[in-house]
Amino acid sequence: MARVQAKVRREQLIEAAVRVAARDGVAATTTRAVAAEAGASLASVHYCFDSKQELLQEVLISIINELTGNWTTGPEDGAGAAALLRAGLGALWEVVEREPGKQQVTYELTHYALRTEGLEGLARWQYGVYYERSAQQLRDVAARAGVEWALPLPVLTRMLMNMIDGLVLGWLVDRDSELARGALNAFADTLGALTRRP
Amino acid sequence: MARVQAKVRREQLIEAAVRVAARDGVAATTTRAVAAEAGASLASVHYCFDSKQELLQEVLISIINELTGNWTTGPEDGAGAAALLRAGLGALWEVVEREPGKQQVTYELTHYALRTEGLEGLARWQYGVYYERSAQQLRDVAARAGVEWALPLPVLTRMLMNMIDGLVLGWLVDRDSELARGALNAFADTLGALTRRP
DNA sequence: GTCTATAAAGTGATAGAC
DNA sequence: GTCTATCACTTTATAGAC
């Protein structure tokens, strides 16, 4: 393998690890498998990372940053809260169905982090990002629809985010897209009704 | 170890495996750890089970049967749908908070099953049980409240079950009981409003 | 049915030449 | 920075005596 800056090689290894994890699962993401996927030697993994744990941490950060990057804002202003929520959730759902493997990895790494000493904070960071994005979406919807939420934002944020999380997990198990989208839309309408004129 | 019927020893090993998995995680549930927990030899595990995979399958079946056994029906007839849902969900939540480790195991084994050839059906069975219990709860609530649901039962079932699943997972990450219960109650009220006179 | 001992195949991590 | 070779350890599973 050509001589490359450690920083560059590090990125290559993270991307390789993401591919392996998405395709074969976190349990099968061994340092050897990652090295092979990146076309590098086993030693290069330990040269670029202090430990496998650090590599997996970077994998989660990479996936979360990618998946939560662009939650679209939906249709034009003036629409109702429910319609705006439907549009936003629909866009999010397309991302989910496009790469099921990556979605599975996010859950696998959550549980890995929760069980690994010194990595409990990673799972909390992950869900913190989720909640932040959801809260942002709720504020945006309210502003665009010209309404205010009838319940405390933290409660609504948690309902929204955990509902999505549960729907995704449920879909990963049975891949019933029709039912999942039906529940997603029903939830959007239900949540959208929890508004009042300011 | 005393001479015991294989069937009895099998149950002892499953119970030991449940304890190890709940305490240390599925990844740490090795055949050695289970044997030690049960006070048996390593060979006894392979005598009672064809493979570690079969043991873990039994662990999931055992936990699911235990956890979904008694979803209480809530207060007396005549109450509103929302109140009945709150009562039922509140009782379920107490079970959740009582044994976080076991809850974590249910998720870990879902993902283990989804990634293990020949075990995909186990995850679908698990969630099938969840959905069945949720549907039953919804039918029961409607009957007791003297109302009918305004949306198709499969959609409501999926909303209810996946909402719970997501709330539990979220709670496992940050252990914020107050917020989780707040979202749970808000969801019960929201769902309870989706009814009409028959 | 139970055990000790061991096979056979992994694993993360490191030494040291280049 | 990169590699091969290897260490030290763990894993599932099995053989065979009792």
Residue % of chain B over a pLDDT of 90: 92
**Residues 6+ positions from A7 with CB-CB distance below 8 Å:** none
Is the pTM higher than 0.95? yes
A178: which residues sit within 8 A by CB, 6+ positions away?
none
CB contact under 8 A, B169 and A162: yes
* Contact flag B158-A108 (C-beta cutoff 8 Å): no
Predicted pLDDT at B69? 83
Q: Give pairs for B30-39: CB < 8 Å, separation 24+.
A: B31/B55, B38/B12, B38/B13, B39/B1
Name the nucleotide nearest B3; use CA and C1': C1
In the DSSP assignment, the letter for residue B48 is H
What's the pLDDT at B74?
66
Name, in order, each residue with C-beta under 8 angstroms of A131's C-beta and a sequence gap of 6 or more. Answer: A157, A158, A161
pLDDT range class, residue A108, cuts 50, 70, 90: very high
CB atoms within 10 A of CB B58: 18
Cross-chain residue pair A183–B190, CB shorter than 8 Å? no
DSSP bridge partners of A196: A148
Q: Tokens 């198990």 sit at which residue?
A: A173
Question: Which of B122, B104, B102 lies closest to B58 in space, CA to CA?
Answer: B122
pLDDT digits (tens, 9 = 90+) for A42-97: 999 999 999 999 999 999 999 999 999 877 766 666 789 999 999 999 999 999 99
Q: How many CB pairs under 8 A join A and B?
A: 128
Q: Which nucleotides of C are covered by protein (CB under 7 A)?
A: 1-6, 10-16
DSSP lists the bridge partners of residue A149 as: A195
Looking at the complex, does the CB of residue B2 fall below 8 Å from at least one CB of chain A? no
Confidence of residue B1 (pLDDT cuts 50, 70, 90): confident
pLDDT one-digit tens code per residue, B31-58: 999 999 999 999 999 999 999 999 999 9
Q: Considering all nucleic acid strands, name the nucleotide whose C1' atom is nearest to the C-alpha of residue A47.
A: D1
Mutual angle of helices B6-24 and B52-67, in 10-degree steps = 80
- Residues A115-131 have pLDDT tens digits of 999 999 999 999 999 99
Chain A residue closest in CA terms to B179: A155
